[in-house]
């Protein structure tokens, strides 16, 4: 876990990111973009 940015995006991690993003009342544009990326990654993993 020394390189957190190299962690593969798993569906579990994507949903956790979405959950934490949902808890924030005013997400920034950067968070919105990241959330969208996480959602598309989760959808991609689901369709495999």
**pLDDT given at position 12:** 84
User: How many degrees, rounded to 5, is the angle at CA 25 between CA 6 and CA 11?
Assistant: 35
Is residue 35 within 8 A of residue 27, CB to CB? The reply is yes
Q: Is the pLDDT of residue 17 over 60?
A: yes
User: How many degrees, rounded to 5, is the angle at CA 41 between CA 21 and CA 31?
Assistant: 30
Alpha helices (runs of H) in the chain, residue ranges in sequence order: 11-23, 29-47
Determine if residue 24 is left, alpha or beta; phi over 0 gives left, psi from -120 to 50 gives alpha, anything else beta.
Answer: beta
Q: Is the pLDDT of residue 15 over 80?
A: yes
Give per-residue pLDDT as tens, 20-46. Answer: 776 666 657 777 788 888 888 888 877
Domain parsing of the chain, residue ranges? 11-46
């Amino acid at each position: 876990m020394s390189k957190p940015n190299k962690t593969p995006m798993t569906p579990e991690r994507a949903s956790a990111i979405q959950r934490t993003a949902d808890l924030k009342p005013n997400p920034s544009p950067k968070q919105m973009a990241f959330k969208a990326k996480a959602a598309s990654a989760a959808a991609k993993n689901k369709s495999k």
